[in-house]
Structure 1
């Protein structure tokens, strides 16, 4: 399938290929060194050190904490300020020397076998990361670091829920050299492994220095495209920041400074007391506008200049305004494809494509963004590059009884919160039409029914010949595409209320699954759920036998196949027995 050079949206513009800027640290078109024996970074007696400007950056980033400590001395005239001044003195005597000592005691070395990082002042740490476990070397450049020509290198490995190691800060050229060296050592190890496993004829047929294909730009976002994506986002970040600032600033003083008239403030205060409903609506409108502007600004800062390109077996991307981030997504580690959208985005045909990977540090609920904002056709084309899957023509619905169960569950939560709130509500507080404010929450009961129906309407699934597809969500719509060979475990379970309604929930787990947005199928008829577990297991068992059979027949006498190694190379997918059905156990 041909790859689009840019999105079909009106903002699809081409961004300069970052691989060209890495020529100082690499010789290949993808920014990796193509030499036969890449040199290690740092000998045993001469380890590599951080850039000297790291001291300056760390000093500046520590100043906000000092300002927060000294803030009471500026806002309170009559308060005793000796305690903040004491902490300020402690900062000068302890924090500043600690910054210097941390810099002097940090070193790193990169060899063909491992990345060695030594750090710690009072407690020394010697961390060794095998080269074969490294999945991603991400270069991050915040605004201050970019002004000084510095970068932070983050090393991510399989099986780690966070960054395994961080080298903060080195020069941009050194950061690119670190990433290129790690990739070169990994390729050398893979080539050596392939040479050991290949037959003599295969080894002769393989060129030792075969040219690799140059990176291809798959997707890019112009400034207009990024701003359009931000217009569909909503965030409370800046609203929370404003309320945090107001904790240290008198709101009346701030308002007086803005309006330059005490009379105007009195008029506004009187209007608020006379029309509390209008005040509440105005507050909601202002909060919504701030949330909308926050979404635009955060999207601009995160995805400015977003570029995605295919480089061999990895997806590489670069994005960011104040903090420029460069990273890779190994295609072999992709477990699940996830398409997200909202009702408003779906109305205009926009979607977000993410992938769930195994063992990578992620920004959003265990997932990596491939296309932040794209049309459906573009999303499907990009998904085909990641893991080709065929979208089923039809989806099965869950049981209509899910409407009743979800409505009763949400109604129970509402009543449990309403009873104590109405009991402790003061009599002299707001009581529109002589009804205490908590009782007005009963007006949302029809909305609970609508939400329960929408949950049923959007919740569908399909067991296709190439994997499992799950749709779900009301305020945010999810589409999970799970390939057969990524099944880890499948089982059906039921709660007390589900048993009374003859319903079950179907789970299909994968490696690296998020604990929040999860592709479970809720409220399926019990017999259908049990049959689905058998079908899912049968799909994987058939695929597993086919892979073992193919590997067995393709193995040469000189390289006998170890069936146990072949089994270990395939994800296990044995379904758990249903605890409510002893016959299936």
Structure 2
């Protein structure tokens, strides 16, 4: 049986940064320390452990060096081509007409060595397409600008589009939003409670048990500090012709692009302790990020980590052009819903306009979810056993997987069927006028660039092509 060979790599293709083997070899060393470090400490055989760790590091360096030598990338027609592999040759082509965004990430080790990771997000992709690890910082910025220019159909040498800063999160607000988070407060209360208990118990065994019980509270505080403060440190939201740009991070920095047309849904959330400050956060479902891990999804779904209500409302109107979700008239849930939501049924409401469907819910933790009609993936009616007994049903307006979940809860069956049918029809009509997959194409049709492009991320799932050769 004849096997098609991968095309030879063109001479003009480039290699990754020469320090890439060092960064990849570090992972092998960390693995060796994690596996054998504790055993070495207990047995006292530190010399033997040191030799083992060194051997792991050398193997990692050699593997990284071979991977670096055989990995090259460059433009091949209307695609970015990445060739890799020594024994099993792989050639991956990322179509530029499906390109959604190019993100630049700089892990702590990369910042120390002056290198960056380039992540390519494409419509219909399940994860980042062949991330380039690692490039020099200037090379990563230039390649990102060239990719976006080619995707837009303009000259490849066009420099990166200028930007206008929309919102910067003040450090004091970010710190206070972390302190007022539920996880942080719960952790502090838990630790204080155990500390008070220590005053009444003098027994050493009890003291040790109480101190060890503080670990969950310490973990909760650490998670809250890192999730809100560490990841969103120095958060900047900027506007440019290619969409919204996000820069953030304390140790690992992230430069992310969120074209408005890629936004599948937006959720405005307000925890109870933020209500006195009128603070909210904005989370989004974004096409191209749906197949990532939960940790990556949390990092890429935050549009604003904390903002005043007015600031968030302004950003919301820009992300969803042509609509003002906060002004959409809402219809409340019927009275039987009080049996299933005794404290929050009056907050259950939904509304629609020509562009979006809006869902409101929550008493202690308030949510306002907005989904554009054109981004609706499906509409379904769900009725649980208690709902059947009470004569109620819920309507789910589905988008791409992510943190935004639009559920019109606890409606009368006839109303639920009408909502589902009408929303399906609105989605069908909206898709006819939605713009093409190239989310920067509309800028070629306008004399003045505006960051309000659309791309719903649907279409054939083959956002890149790949061929292997044994």
Work out whether the TM-score is over 0.5.
yes
Inter-CA distance 571–272: structure 2 relative to 1 (3 Å threshold): closer
From 225, 230, 233, the counterpart of 1:301: 230
In the superposition, the TM-score normalised over structure 1's length comes to 0.62
d(CA) in 1 for partners of 2:377 and 2:263? 13
108-117 vs 473-482, which deviates more? Answer: 473-482
Inter-CA distance 570–125: structure 2 relative to 1 (3 Å threshold): closer
d(CA) in 1 for partners of 2:219 and 2:15? 44
Matched, 1:62 2:28: yes
d(CA) in 2 for partners of 1:117 and 1:540? 37
- Within-5 A mapping of 1:429-578: 452-473=341-362, 476-510=365-399, 512-514=400-402, 517-540=404-427, 547=433
- How far residue 115 of structure 1 moved from its aligned partner, in angstroms, is 0.8
- Within-5 A mapping of 1:248-327: 267-269=202-204, 272=207, 279=210, 283=213, 287-288=216-217, 291-327=220-256
d(CA) in 1 for partners of 2:57 and 2:258? 42
- Within-5 A mapping of 1:299-378: 299-360=228-289, 363-364=296-297, 368-378=301-311
Contact 1:366–1:513, Cα closer than 8 Å, also in 2: no
In the superposition, the TM-score normalised over structure 2's length comes to 0.76
- How far residue 294 of structure 1 moved from its aligned partner, in angstroms, is 3.9
Contact 1:156–1:164, Cα closer than 8 Å, also in 2: yes
d(CA) in 2 for partners of 1:502 and 1:493? 12
Offset from partner CA, 1:101-150 (integer Å, 9 cap, x none) = 11222111134511111122332211111111111111111222112211
Matched, 1:174 2:107: no
Inter-CA distance 97–302: structure 2 relative to 1 (3 Å threshold): same
Inter-CA distance 308–464: structure 2 relative to 1 (3 Å threshold): same
| 3-state secondary structure, aligned to 1:520 | strand
Structure 1 consecutive aligned stretches of length 4 or more whose deviation exceeds 6 Å:
80-87, 569-572
Offset from partner CA, 1:420-443 (integer Å, 9 cap, x none) = xxxxxxxxxxxxxxxxxxxxxxxx
d(CA) in 1 for partners of 2:332 and 2:390? 16
Offset from partner CA, 1:207-248 (integer Å, 9 cap, x none) = xx9x99842111112322332232233559xx9xxxxxxxxx
| 3-state secondary structure, aligned to 1:454 | coil
d(CA) in 2 for partners of 1:367 and 1:165? 18
- How far residue 377 of structure 1 moved from its aligned partner, in angstroms, is 0.6
d(CA) in 2 for partners of 1:326 and 1:401? 48
Contact 2:381–2:395, Cα closer than 8 Å, also in 1: yes
Unaligned ranges ≥5, structure 2: 1-8, 188-198, 435-454, 459-470
d(CA) in 1 for partners of 2:300 and 2:348? 21
From 226, 242, 245, the counterpart of 2:174: 226
- How far residue 492 of structure 1 moved from its aligned partner, in angstroms, is 2.1
d(CA) in 2 for partners of 1:544 and 1:184? 26
Unaligned ranges ≥5, structure 1: 1-42, 193-208, 240-263, 406-451, 549-568, 573-585
Map of 1:398 onto structure 2: 333
Map of 1:136 onto structure 2: 101
| 3-state secondary structure, aligned to 2:315 | helix
Structure possessing the higher radius of gyration over alpha carbons: 1
- How far residue 526 of structure 1 moved from its aligned partner, in angstroms, is 0.8
Matched, 1:160 2:125: yes
The total of aligned residue pairs comes to 410
- How far residue 351 of structure 1 moved from its aligned partner, in angstroms, is 0.6
- How far residue 354 of structure 1 moved from its aligned partner, in angstroms, is 2.3
